[in-house]
Chain A
């Protein structure tokens, strides 16, 4: 088939241990530079990916450092897609719009920071085992 495999993404696998978060931040910082995000937006994105990984460590793996987190980062011009994969128990986020009042999930600041940074925050329901969080951000036109 006449297509190329994509050459604009990288995959970063880290043990599910908070000491590796600095590596994630460094990689995402550079990815934001490549995608031409302005510094403020890049700061929000780096923080949000850090928070997403922290959530996996805390909630999906319950601080078991022998698990791993797989980050797939697609860098395009003015667009960044980050997939955060884990093999932990299923997290249900049935719908982004959030219609259920009694939907109880680890809340607080981390999720709020993730939502601030990304246009799309969704769990990929097709994944059979573990969780895949999809995060997409395009450079804001007004700020560009």
Chain B
């Protein structure tokens, strides 16, 4: 015997139930999607495509709210025609309050438009640009913990038995996922940047000489370098290009950060390769320039390269836009007028050699502009002339470089160091002076 049902369900009730069930399925599917997808770029198209299918819609899109410009911009658009999406993503943004999405963003309320063309909030602009015809749409604000994120739109949907509360609930969940994804993306970006800076600093350090001083016969060279930020653009190097010669390079790469550090590494490695066996610093700079002129990102470097005969003290200099070296002799200390070519990396050039005699007891001092461009809290520059005066007063001090750095620090006082500071000294010792 067949049991009568306890309660009868009408066709209509059954349809409502089915609809609820389907919606719940959609929701649970989307929910698992939302909690699993962390990459924003993966998440958005998945959700939007699912929504488009579910609503049997012609197009779906998400506009992101740009806090900086106070505008809504298309982040994702899925339409039948790729071209329509491209037009939307490239050329269209909306002011707050403008159009339906603008209204939804401003009021932070869901809007269902059944006849777009008769709605006064609807503007024809996007349709005109894309050739798309909008009949109806649902626009839901995406609101996260930190406020408005954007607006989701379902356009030209054919399904009429939708549940607006459910859509809103999904959008709330969607908002949180987007917020998480953005946070995650930014955290990854920060971490990556931090790692890169660390790598660049390591690269840079590994390219500088292991010890900041070196002696051959009567000549000794030593360096002091202090970067301003974690990664700076100053460089120096010591090399023995041929027996009985010592080469000293100082330079300042334009720009800061990772690309400057990598460019600096390229400068030093190319320099070491090109300087081997070559007595003429001008020739080395001309070749180095040729290898750097096609260098990445329009970077350039000012350098001075000096080659000294460790027996005779004869020095040959070549300069590429670098500040003048200082000859520290009896008196006065003076800036050397060395003909200079342009910084390396700008254009083809033949750098001339300038000869010079260093007498026993004399020094040549090379600096980067961070030394004399140092500023005090009042914004005044220390200046090349002031530096010359300090050198003049201390020309016999063995620790001249330290005295200069102390003077810079005293002048700069509480001001943060804006640029790298590098000094390199070449000293021809007096015979038996015991220096």
- A110 CA to B294 CA, complexed, in Å: 12
Binary flags per residue of B96-119, CB closer than 8 Å to A gives 1, else 0:
001111110000000001001001
Smallest CB-CB separation from A126: which chain B residue? Answer: B86
Which among B254-262, B323-331, B351-359 touches the partner chain? B254-262
Stretch at the interface among B45-53, B127-135, B228-236: B127-135
A109 engages B99 (CB within 8 Å)? no
Q: How far is A110 from B295 in the complex, measured between Cα atoms in Å?
A: 12
User: Contacts A1-B116, A6-B93, A97-B259 known; A107 to B294 CB distance under 8 Å?
Assistant: yes
Q: Are A3 and B298 in contact (CB under 8 A)?
A: no
1/0 per residue, CB under 8 A from A, across B140-162: the answer is 00000000000001010000000
Q: A30 in the interface, Cβ–Cβ < 8 Å?
A: no
Q: Nearest CB to that of B296 among chain A residues?
A: A103
- The answer to whether B266 and A101 have CB atoms under 8 Å apart is yes
Q: Is the CB of A107 within 8 A of B101?
A: no
Contact A2:B121 (CB < 8 A) given known A98-B259, A101-B266, A112-B300: yes
Which B-chain residue is minimally distant from A121 (CB atoms)? B297
Interface positions, chain A 55-79, Cβ under 8 Å from B, are 76, 79
**How far is B91's CA from A6's CA once the two chains are assembled, in angstroms?**
7
**Interface residue tally on B, bucketed by range:** 35 or more
For chain A, the bracket of interface size reads: 20 to 34
Is the pair B92, A2 in contact by a Cβ cutoff of 8 Å? no
A1-34: which have CB < 8 Å to B?
1-6, 9
Inter-subunit contact B298/A114 (CB<8 Å): yes
Interface 1/0s, chain B 337-372, versus A by CB < 8 A? 000000001110000000000000000000000000
Please, which residues of chain A bring their CB within 8 A of the CB of B69? Answer: 76, 79
**Is B123 within 8 A of A2, CB to CB?**
yes
For B297, give its contact among A9, A79, A115 (CB under 8 Å). Answer: A115
Q: Which of B126, B255, B294 contacts A2 (CB 8 A)?
A: B126
Q: Which of A1, A104, A110 counts the most chain B CB atoms within 10 A? A: A1
Closest beta carbon of chain B to A125's beta carbon, Å: 14
* Chain A CB within 8 A of B285 CB: no
Scoring A3, A9, A112 by chain B CB atoms within 10 A of each residue's CB, the highest score goes to A3
**A1 contacts B262, CB within 8 Å?**
no
Tell me if A3 and B297 are in contact (CB < 8 A).
no
Given contacts A2-B122, A3-B92, are A99 and B258 in contact (CB under 8 A)? yes
Q: Give 21 CB contacts A-B under 8 Å.
A: A1-B127, A1-B137, A2-B102, A3-B94, A3-B99, A3-B125, A4-B99, A4-B123, A5-B91, A5-B125, A79-B69, A97-B258, A97-B259, A98-B296, A99-B258, A103-B296, A107-B293, A108-B298, A108-B300, A115-B255, A138-B68
Given contacts A2-B100, A9-B91, A104-B296, 20 further A-B contacts (CB under 8 A): A1-B126, A1-B134, A1-B153, A2-B99, A2-B123, A2-B137, A3-B98, A3-B123, A3-B125, A76-B69, A79-B69, A97-B196, A104-B294, A108-B300, A109-B347, A112-B254, A112-B297, A112-B299, A115-B297, A138-B68
Residues of A within 8 A of B (CB): 1-6, 9, 76, 79, 97-101, 103-115, 138
